[in-house]
Structure 1
Amino acid sequence: MSRSSRSFSPPWVQVASPRPRLAAGGTPMRRITATLFAAALAVAAIPAARADDASRLKTARAVVEVAHAGEHMKALMPTFLGQMKGMLKAQGNVDDKQAQVFLDRFQARFAEGIPAFVDLVAEVYAREFSEEDLVNLLAFYRTPTGQHLLDKQVPIAQALAQVGARWGQSVAGDVVAEIKKEHDKAGGTPKL
């Protein structure tokens, strides 16, 4: 073969062989058709998934509304404010007037933001529960027992916050006493 009869192909151009190699699964046309079909199914499933998500979010929103999430947050506001006031005073560099300005603004913004909070709670419920679970929760919350549970959630949350704080202080006190005892035996002074 002479030089003139050979065709030149730059290295970046791949010359197709006359007979393409086939993977298991048939001709190139069948593979292309199967790939296009799979892609079409995936694209078609997107609106269905979005519709399912929208339906689940709507049901989750109903659960959150029946559960009175917004009202419960409003009812817990005094507990939050009390905790914040304690934290602000513990900082030592905030006087009572500054603390009150902060708490007043926080309370106003918090109240304004409750609808957005309810939306966020609904999104969490929609993400964590199936449509069937949400429908069952909704049905339960509409029963007398479900309503009783919902009525007790705020006082239970307030009591749990107090119990948790007391328990945490007790554990912390025990740990501090234990460390002091260990340091006393070793002749050192703990820095707690």
Structure 2
Amino acid sequence: MKNVMRAINRTLSTGALALALAATSPAAFGQGAKPSAAALATAKQLVTATGATALFSPLIAGVIEQSKLLYLQQNPMLQKDLNEIAAKLRTDLSPKFVEITDEVAHEYATHFTEPELKAILAFYETPVGKKLLQEQPTVANESMKFAQDWANKLSTEVTAKMRDELKKRGHPM
């Protein structure tokens, strides 16, 4: 059971980290006051329009699968029962996802005024805003691929320069 709790905590920590990163971005240090009901409603619309919780979608299923795997490691004969239990848990726990959506909306409503939220939402409802939402994952993926390739090349260059400098200082390489 201790292993199950560790796995759950690991998965939740990953989601919490992502939420924390979103909440601590430079834009997040705006308003800070308790949001109004209207601001929360607008923020929920913004969350829906932007798909801001998509990052967290796999959390419930991931936690369930990790727990299932821990029990399977202890006793592979539990496969059939655990598959049934996992399916039921996915259904039973899916309403809990609203908690994440509500919290993300609350974060937006806390850091942006209602007029700012309406302006942001209005932007995402424009053709260019919709295009941004559509293209942003591709741009992010391509940017990450470039950054990874760039870092790998830089690593090779830095390693070679270090090796050359160590040789100059009399270290056998």
Q: TM-score by structure 1 length?
A: 0.46
Q: Deviations over 1:86-114 (max 9, x none)?
A: xxxxxxxxxxxx9xxxxxx9xx99xx686
Work out which of the residue numbers 113, 121, 124 in structure 2 matches 1:138. Answer: 121
Work out which of the residue numbers 33, 39, 48 in structure 2 matches 1:65. Answer: 48
Structure (1 or 2) with the larger CA radius of gyration? 1
- Partners of 2:131 and 2:154 lie apart in 1 by 33
Work out which of the residue numbers 150, 157, 164 in structure 2 matches 1:174. Answer: 157
Judging changes above 3 Å, is the alpha-carbon distance between structure 1 residues 154 and 120 closer, same or farther for their aligned structure 2 residues? farther
Amino acid in the other structure paired with 2:161: E
Matches within 5 A, 1:152-163: 152-163=135-146
- Partners of 1:188 and 1:174 lie apart in 2 by 19
Alignment RMSD (CA, Å):
3.3
Matches within 5 A, 1:79-158: 115-158=98-141
**Count of residue pairs the alignment pairs up:** 110
- Partners of 1:158 and 1:73 lie apart in 2 by 18
- Partners of 1:189 and 1:119 lie apart in 2 by 60
In structure 1, stretches of 5+ residues that fail to align are 1-48, 78-97, 99-104
The sequence identity of aligned pairs, in percent, is: 31
Q: TM-score by structure 2 length?
A: 0.51
Amino acid in the other structure paired with 2:52: A
Which structure has the highest helix share of the two? 2
